[in-house]
């Protein structure tokens, strides 16, 4: 360790970090290439060849050329995932032992969903939401 100074250790760590960062970006770009619906098969193949054969330059060109739409696709996928999760939760809650009705003929799950929508739209405050939710759950 005497012949490997501190600056060389720092430089090696920086190179390792950049190498891992590049791999992360490469996998993210390859995923984005296949996820993109606005590209034809030939376009996807071309970008894939560019990113694999000329790795550093190909990744940089892709990020410069398609970085904005890449972010938009990430946001859209997050929205779809959140919507699917909310649907799953509502279906799971409605499929409880009493079908989510509580014996009153109306669905508590639907009422809570409507309340949450009103709160998100700003039609009711957080305090009003909590009071209404407490009344529904009693």
- What backbone phi and psi angles, to 5 degrees, belong to 67? -60, -40
Sign of CA dihedral 113, 118, 122, 124: negative
Per-residue confidence in pLDDT tens, the chain, 138 aa: 567 787 888 899 999 999 999 899 999 999 999 999 888 999 999 999 999 999 889 999 999 999 889 989 999 999 999 999 888 888 777 665 444 444 444 577 778 888 888 888 888 888 888 888 888 777
What pLDDT does residue 106 have?
54
Per the CB < 8 A criterion, the answer to whether 69 and 36 are in contact is yes
Residues near 113 by beta carbon (within 8 Å), at least 6 away in sequence: 90
Verdict on whether the full-model pTM lies above 0.75:
no
What's the angle, vertex CA 5, arms to CA 4 and CA 10, rounded to 5?
Answer: 100
């Amino acid at each position: 360790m005497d012949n490997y100074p501190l600056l060389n250790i720092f430089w090696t760590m920086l190179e390792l970090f950049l190498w891992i960062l590049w791999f992360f970006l490469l996998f993210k770009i390859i995923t984005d290439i296949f996820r993109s619906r606005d590209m034809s098969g030939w376009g996807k193949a071309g970008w894939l060849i560019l990113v694999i054969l000329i790795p550093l330059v190909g990744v940089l060109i892709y990020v410069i050329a398609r970085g904005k739409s890449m972010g938009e696709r990430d946001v859209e996928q997050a929205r779809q995932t959140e919507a699917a999760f909310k649907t799953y939760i509502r279906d799971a809650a409605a499929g409880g032992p009493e079908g989510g009705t509580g014996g009153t003929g109306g669905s508590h799950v639907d009422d809570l969903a409507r309340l949450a929508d009103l709160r998100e739209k700003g039609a009711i405050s957080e305090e009003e939401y909590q009071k209404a939710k407490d009344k529904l759950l009693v």
